[in-house]
Structure 1
Amino acid sequence: MVTKYAFWNNKGGTGKTSLCFQALTFYAHQHPDERILAIDVCPQANLSELLFGGLAGKGSDVLLAHQNEPTRRTIGGYFEVRLPNPYSPPTINPDAYISHPADHNATIPDNVDLIAGDPILELQSNAVSTLANNQIPNTPTWVRVIDWINDLVDTLGGRYDTIFIDANPSFSMYTQIALASADRLVLPVMADDSSRRAIQNAFSLVYGLKLPSDIYTQYAFATKLRKEGRELPKVHAIAKNRLTQYVVAASAYSAVLRSIDLDVETLIAQQPDMFSANRTKDVMVEIRDFQTAGVVSFARGCPFYAQKPGRMDVMGKRVQVKNEYLQNCVDSIQELVDAL
């Protein structure tokens, strides 16, 4: 049975795309007998650019070419087919939307496929929301729309073992479609108090916790899914991202991070069904700051395990990647992948 991980936080800038890229490539590299599918449900399509080669490897040109095919080879191309027929899955060829990044980027494992992101999602968003909220007798319009990605995965007939979904930092309709298709949620956070609030907001949006009024409960994402007898994704990992290399017990960073741990500990005690583990230490993952190694990796669309230390040319500039820092990056991502 396929396992589907969604990387999401309602707050932007938490590093969800960079973590998704590294985690899925590490996972694919270490599980060569599995078939991995990445689904980029973000109009910025940064995950797709990275997989296609990053800035230095002209990943944006490859992505643009996919978006300009007669049938857009993207998630937006699939949504385009669904818009005229939103409530029952049409007969489609899923391969029309699937790309093979290794054809363009030699550092990506051969067992990874991609449904690329697309800025057209923003244009489609209002139409998708309207279709989901139509009132049609005997037709559960919202859940039929929320299942669009599930419908697409069903057409693949068990072709993939693991799916990684990069979701937009919003709670728009296409983001909800992405989250509704996931089994497990990876929630990146930063070492600051705004991320602490972001966790609370995320749990409110996805699980309906601490809504400001009962008025909102009937419209909540969790309420609608549960009404249809559907499972919500379980929080599988909270990745404390971009920690300084020099975090110590007395630092301000550690105080904030400890408060995040305490919040999660309380949530696990009060709402154990929302988590895939029953101990805080099994949910929290610490990710060190990637520093220059991260800049080079993402410019080249290169996973950390395939990157070499030393001086290299990136977009006409010579950059030094220190072996110690690169190894820290590898170790951090390995901890996240081990948690998966």
Structure 2
Amino acid sequence: MPKSFIFWNNKGGTGKTSLAFQAICEFANLNSKKRILVIDVCPQANLSELLLGGLEGDGGGNLLKVQGKTPRATVGGYFQMRLPSPYTVGTIATSDFLSVPYEYNSAIPRNITLFAGDPLLELQANSMSTLANNQIPGTNTWVMVISWLRDFVAATGNRFDYIFLDANPSFSIYTQIAMAVAEKVIFPVMADDSSRRAIQNAFSLIYGLKLPSEIYAQHMFATRMESAGLTLPKAHLIVKNRITQYMGAASGYRAVLSSIDDDIEGIIRDNPRYLNFSALKDGVLEIRDFQTTGVVAFARGTPFFALKPGKRSVGGRRITIEAKQITDRRDEISNLAKRLV
């Protein structure tokens, strides 16, 4: 199996997708010989739109073209194929569902292949959950459904070296399917109490830590994965995202971030088997706010390494970005990309 990472947090607004876009593109650029598959398991498909051109490059229109292929070249299109026979794998023509972002957006590294996101996921979720909870003697229906993306990856054979997944903040069935194929989790957080609670909730949802009652344990994702002999993904990095450049040691924001550190140290001490690191410094990373550079990069679907200084058009306005801004942002993203090992 390829090495696999998922960007996820059960809180929205942490900059997860924008962070994933820049980190994945930087990783691909630094590792040009590696074959990379990006799986967008999000109904909003924002990562897909960025890879396919962003606002200025008609990423939305290009995504519609991908969704309009026959078969529908998206995660939703693949799930639609699986729905009639959910408990058998059959033959999967994986190439039918994949796109090459470079063909739509020349700023994207050529070694990235996209399995695009799709709003169909929300429509499919209820059916998938029902199928996963059916009672059929001799068949673990939950495992069969939760393994749909694992089946897809297995069907690609040795085509890819790395897989990166982006999932929305819910922990619905399609997010669990994405989590089941990942080895490592990147958790973006921000400097607020809701991010701290989200990390606590995330570890409860994935690993069953600090449940309010034992009655939930048998139904937890971790319990069902381990009962089926499937390996849980490990927390790989906690990324403190959008940290202001002017945050001082006495800042209230800093106090919240320190509280997050305390929570992580508690997990290191009490539940190290769920982590890919044994010291806080190895598992926590700070990323400053991308500011104007990020606005331009995402509007144009452009990784920082491909962004040039000067005036750029965004939404009919001319915005100036300086070389140092680009360099600073790329240095931080490169640091993150180099830790995706």
Short-chain TM bin: over 0.9
Task: Structure 1 unaligned segments of length 5 or more: list them.
Answer: none
Structure 2 distance, partners of 1:40, 1:328, is 27
RMSD: 0.9
Task: Structure 2 unaligned segments of length 5 or more: list them.
Answer: none
Structure 1 distance, partners of 2:318, 2:179, is 40
Corresponding position: 1:279 with 2:284:
no
Superposed displacement of residue 27, structure 1 = 0.5
Q: How does 1:299-318 map to 2 (within 5 A)?
A: 299-318=299-318
Q: Tell me, what secondary structure is at the counterpart of 2:338?
A: helix
Structure 2 distance, partners of 1:212, 1:263, is 17
Structure 2 distance, partners of 1:291, 1:328, is 11
Structure 1 distance, partners of 2:333, 2:90, is 39
Q: Tell me, what secondary structure is at the counterpart of 1:54?
A: coil
Structure 2 distance, partners of 1:110, 1:127, is 36
Structure 2 distance, partners of 1:217, 1:251, is 38
Structure 1 distance, partners of 2:122, 2:90, is 22
Q: TM-score, normalised by structure 2?
A: 0.98
Superposed displacement of residue 246, structure 1 = 0.5
Q: Which moved more, 1:182-191 or 1:321-330?
A: 321-330
Q: Tell me, what secondary structure is at the counterpart of 1:206?
A: helix
Structure 2 distance, partners of 1:22, 1:158, is 25
Superposed displacement of residue 71, structure 1 = 0.8
Does the CA-based 8 Å contact 1:41-1:167 persist in structure 2? yes
Q: How does 1:63-82 map to 2 (within 5 A)?
A: 63-82=63-82
Corresponding position: 1:205 with 2:205:
yes
1:105 paired residue number:
105
Output one character per residue of 1:75-109: Cα deviation in whole Å (capped at 9) or x when no partner: 00000010011111121210000000000100000
Does the CA-based 8 Å contact 1:9-1:188 persist in structure 2? yes
Structure 1 segments, 4+ long, off by >4 Å, are: none
Output one character per residue of 1:221-253: Cα deviation in whole Å (capped at 9) or x when no partner: 000001112211000011000000101111111
Q: How does 1:52-67 map to 2 (within 5 A)?
A: 52-67=52-67
Does the CA-based 8 Å contact 1:82-1:90 persist in structure 2? no
- Counterpart AA for 2:183: D
- Counterpart AA for 1:127: S
Structure 1 distance, partners of 2:211, 2:19, is 29
Corresponding position: 1:154 with 2:154:
yes
- Counterpart AA for 2:310: G
Does the CA-based 8 Å contact 1:288-1:328 persist in structure 2? no
Output one character per residue of 1:102-123: Cα deviation in whole Å (capped at 9) or x when no partner: 0010000000000000000000
How many residue pairs match? The answer is: 340
- Counterpart AA for 2:333: I
Q: Which moved more, 1:312-321 or 1:72-81?
A: 312-321
Corresponding position: 1:193 with 2:193:
yes
- Counterpart AA for 2:191: A
1:297 paired residue number:
297
1:32 paired residue number:
32
Structure 2 distance, partners of 1:202, 1:136, is 30
Structure 2 distance, partners of 1:100, 1:92, is 19
Structure 2 distance, partners of 1:265, 1:271, is 10
1:254 paired residue number:
254
